[in-house]
Amino acid sequence: MKKIIQLGILAAAITASCATNAADSKGVAVEFSGILANSSCNVSVNGGQTIDMGTVSTAGLKIGDETEAVPFTVDISGCPSSISTASLDFEGTSFTGDNTLFALTSTVGDQLHQIGMKINAVGYGSGVSLTPNVGSGPETLTDGAVSIPLSASLKLKSSTVDEGKFAVSTSLHVIYD
């Protein structure tokens, strides 16, 4: 019985060896990928990448009104001393007819044409917002770090808004100098 088990193990080892050699003779595709970056700064948005705007009431709002702003922070840290400023660029689809707003990317009914999202630059005072696909002003880093306070609100572009879930997708790029 011991010899049968030993022969079975030997046969399995030979089969594995042949399979490895067969793979080597045909070649195996190996792909490498990554991201090249000009810095080693760490970037986080509220400790994650999702800003939960919760249930947003549009009751009593008229065209042009904005919903209550939801605050969030972009934290940049661990930057080398050669980097003194950072600017933000939120890339995304602009709202049709108002390129100062982001278009909703996941909607219910006709929300896409009824409401857009605005990113407010809290640190610059009221009324200042970040335009989609346009960089912000530079923020000065202190000891290789900066926290940039922002907020997001929705702006009505129609007298009615369909109820239901919505989402806005953006890609945050940080420009260092």
* Domains of the chain, start order: 42-176 (2.60.40.1090)
Do residues 76 and 141 lie in contact, with contact meaning Cβ atoms separated by under 8 Å? yes
How much is the pTM?
Answer: 0.73
Q: How far apart are CA 142 and CA 144, in angstroms?
A: 5
Please list the residues that pair with 88 across neighbouring strands: 174
Q: Which amino acid is at 108?
A: V
Q: Which residue would you say has higher pLDDT here, 162 or 49?
A: 162
168, two tokens: 């806005």
Length of the chain, please? 177
Element (H or E) spanning 114, and its range?
helix 111-114
131: how many CB neighbours lie within 10 A of its CB? 16
Average pLDDT value for residue range 25-49: 75
For residue 7, name the pLDDT band (cuts at 50, 70, 90). very low
pLDDT at 161 over 50: yes
In the predicted structure, residue 10 carries a pLDDT above the cut 60 = no
Q: Classify 171 as helix, strand or coil.
A: strand
Of 22-31, 50-59, 110-119, 141-150, give the lowest mean pLDDT range.
22-31
pLDDT at 83 over 80: yes
CA distance readout (Å), 103 to 47, 78, 82? 24, 33, 36
Query: 21-43 in b/e burial notation, b at 16+ Cβ within 10 A?
Result: eeeeeeeeeeeeeeeeeebebeb
What is the strand order of the sheet 139-140 is part of?
A: 139-140, 85-91, 171-176
* Whole-number pLDDT of residue 18: 46
Q: What is the pLDDT of residue 24?
A: 54
Mean pLDDT in residue range 96-101: 94
